[in-house]
Structure 1
Amino acid sequence: MKRSSGARMGATVALSAITLALITGCSSEESDDSKSTGKDKSASPTQAAKALSAAELEKLLLAQGDLGAKKYKVEDGDDTLPKSKTGVTSEQAECEPLVWAMAALPPGETDAHASNTVSEAPASTAAADPEDFADAFDINVTFVGLSSYEGDGAEKAMKAVSDGVSACAGGYTFTGEGETTKVTKVSTAKASGQGDESVAFVQAVDMDGAGPANFSTEVVRKGNTIASFYTLNLAALDSSKAAEIPAEIVTAQLGKLK
């Protein structure tokens, strides 16, 4: 049975309070069937790696035109994403890397990070009927975060994410923008297998009693840089499936990393 538009609106408000659903992950029945955390191609030592600065990472983020201006709109994440990890926390420390990854923040120990949002261009520019307000949100928005690490910090960050997926499988709570959100389940999902390591997970987020909504996150390491991707579609909150992270966004972003 579909949730009412009121429930969807309530979910939208809940997500917006956490800065437009910087929350991610969740689990769906489909993701339960996928036991893969993606290809782990790690092996190359990076002990001498030097972290890039935030300014350098900004230049490596996807820019307008990288994916086709007519299909995607790329915007700065400063106004929609948290600026530091102190703004998004969990009492369960082992679950925080999951929260940070979905919020486009570094999942590991570094201050060098940058983020932006990549939105699908709407199919129509016509004004939405007030009664179909929720349908106006039927576009995918992907939060992209880049973070860079010294030495083997990137590998440690990836391990923290993988460990968090296992440790937090039964759910956890986190706080963002003063609002507490309950994740009822975390499941592994099939990752893209790109980069040197990739981990994907789906989280089921409780929508204030209206049932869970499912959200996907993927974290990819390329050298000593980590890219995180979280895709949200507010109009799809009724669905038992999480919005898919567009493969072309992952490929294009990783293609800009050294």
Structure 2
Amino acid sequence: MKRSSRARIGATVAVGAVALALITGCSSEESDGSKSSDAGDAGKGSGTEAAKALSAAELKKLLLVQGDLDAKKFKIEDTSDLPKSKSEAEVSKAECEPLLWSMVALPPGDTDAQASTGVSEVPSGAATADPENLEAAFDVNATFVGLSSYEGDGAEKALKAVSDGVSACAGGYSFTGDGETTKVNKVSAAEGSGTGDESVAYTQEVAMDGASAAGFTIEVVRKGNTVATFYTMNLAALAGESTKPAATSAELVTAQVEKIK
């Protein structure tokens, strides 16, 4: 991914534009993957065999809105520029596809029922004190939130696919979108929030320019037959300033999972 991404984003958190850049215009490297709760045992005694998928319209109503969050900490962002279809990218390994889809708020499993939003953390400290301090302004976490719903045990299968992908893709994979190929060097397990019925978390390190790289965190949570994905980046890291993965806010994850019926 090019450092020019910083210019496209601007000093404010343009969540949707960043996601689009990730899937269509980067050359990348990823690191870190993880699971919390045992997704490998998904489906055992969960009683979701007869579950019916929610519609996209129903999922949209379950997405976080500004009133669900502390306005002093979080701001809802537009994600209209997020990829709308999995056909927008090709992944080198089929088992790694759920990892990529979770990064761009698309369903990690087999369903068309989906909805997404974006949340940025409100800048504080140096960024607030000096609006001209671009370095501080970019030191902000942004999270893409995706919801997807499944028939029967589809949600459990989706979580297992993500969990299996973290292991299978530990050595890396690549994806191509808009003629640009992004290389993921490694995927590693991370500690998740432990919310919902089960969850999987992992981190990735994406190459920016030359030897520089940026770290990202992804968490996937199942509650019943609905799956929530959370992909968090730090804009300074996106500009190649840091390789440390940005942590997904536990408060944010909890707020979203609690809205799922």
Fold conserved between structures, TM > 0.5: yes
Question: Taking structure 1 as reference, are residues 192 and 68 closer, same or farther at Cα in structure 2, changes over 3 Å only?
Answer: same
Question: Taking structure 1 as reference, are residues 13 and 150 closer, same or farther at Cα in structure 2, changes over 3 Å only?
Answer: farther
Deviation at 1:178, TM superposition (A): 3.6
Alignment of 1:73-92 (within 5 A): 73-79=75-81, 81-92=82-93
Structure 2 distance, partners of 1:118, 1:138, is: 15
Q: Give ranges in structure 1 of 5+ residues lacking alignment.
A: 1-6
Is residue 2:235 matched to residue 1:241?
no
Indicate if the aligned counterparts of 1:8 and 1:134 stay in contact, CA closer than 8 A.
no
Indicate if the aligned counterparts of 1:18 and 1:179 stay in contact, CA closer than 8 A.
no
Structure 2 distance, partners of 1:83, 1:205, is: 22
2:14 counterpart residue number: none
Indicate if the aligned counterparts of 1:14 and 1:207 stay in contact, CA closer than 8 A.
no
2:38 counterpart residue number: 40
2:229 counterpart residue number: 228
Deviation at 1:143, TM superposition (A): 0.3
Alignment of 1:65-80 (within 5 A): 65-79=67-81
Residue identity opposite 1:195 in structure 2: G
Indicate if the aligned counterparts of 2:142 and 2:235 stay in contact, CA closer than 8 A.
no
Q: Secondary structure at the match of 1:70?
A: coil
Q: Secondary structure at the match of 1:65?
A: helix
Residue identity opposite 1:233 in structure 2: N
Structure 1 distance, partners of 2:69, 2:19, is: 27
1:3 counterpart residue number: none
Residue identity opposite 1:82 in structure 2: P
Question: Taking structure 1 as reference, are residues 207 and 11 closer, same or farther at Cα in structure 2, changes over 3 Å only?
Answer: farther
Indicate if the aligned counterparts of 1:26 and 1:201 stay in contact, CA closer than 8 A.
no
Structure 2 distance, partners of 1:176, 1:12, is: 20
Deviation at 1:10, TM superposition (A): 4.4
Structure 1 distance, partners of 2:178, 2:220, is: 23
Structure 1 distance, partners of 2:91, 2:5, is: 20
Cα root mean square deviation, aligned: 2.7
Question: Taking structure 1 as reference, are residues 45 and 178 closer, same or farther at Cα in structure 2, changes over 3 Å only?
Answer: farther
Residue identity opposite 1:71 in structure 2: K
Deviation at 1:238, TM superposition (A): 2.7
Deviation at 1:197, TM superposition (A): 1.0
Percent sequence identity over aligned pairs: 61
Structure 2 distance, partners of 1:233, 1:154, is: 29
Deviation at 1:253, TM superposition (A): 0.1
1:9 counterpart residue number: 3
1:58 counterpart residue number: 60
Residue identity opposite 1:77 in structure 2: T
Of 44-53 and 203-212, more deviation after overlay is shown by: 203-212
Residue identity opposite 1:137 in structure 2: F
Residue identity opposite 1:235 in structure 2: A
Is residue 2:193 matched to residue 1:189?
no
Residue by residue, what CA displacement relative to the aligned partner does 1:31-83 show, whole Å, maximum 9, x if unpaired? Answer: 7xxxx62123743131100000000000000001211123211134223x111
Residue identity opposite 1:186 in structure 2: V
Q: Secondary structure at the match of 1:50?
A: coil
Is residue 2:25 matched to residue 1:27?
no
Deviation at 1:210, TM superposition (A): 2.7
Deviation at 1:206, TM superposition (A): 1.8
Q: Secondary structure at the match of 1:19?
A: helix
Q: Secondary structure at the match of 1:151?
A: coil
- Aligned residue pairs total 243
Q: Secondary structure at the match of 2:35?
A: coil
2:207 counterpart residue number: 206
Alignment of 1:98-177 (within 5 A): 98-123=99-124, 124=127, 128-129=131-132, 133-177=134-178
Indicate if the aligned counterparts of 2:19 and 2:104 stay in contact, CA closer than 8 A.
no
Q: Secondary structure at the match of 2:67?
A: coil
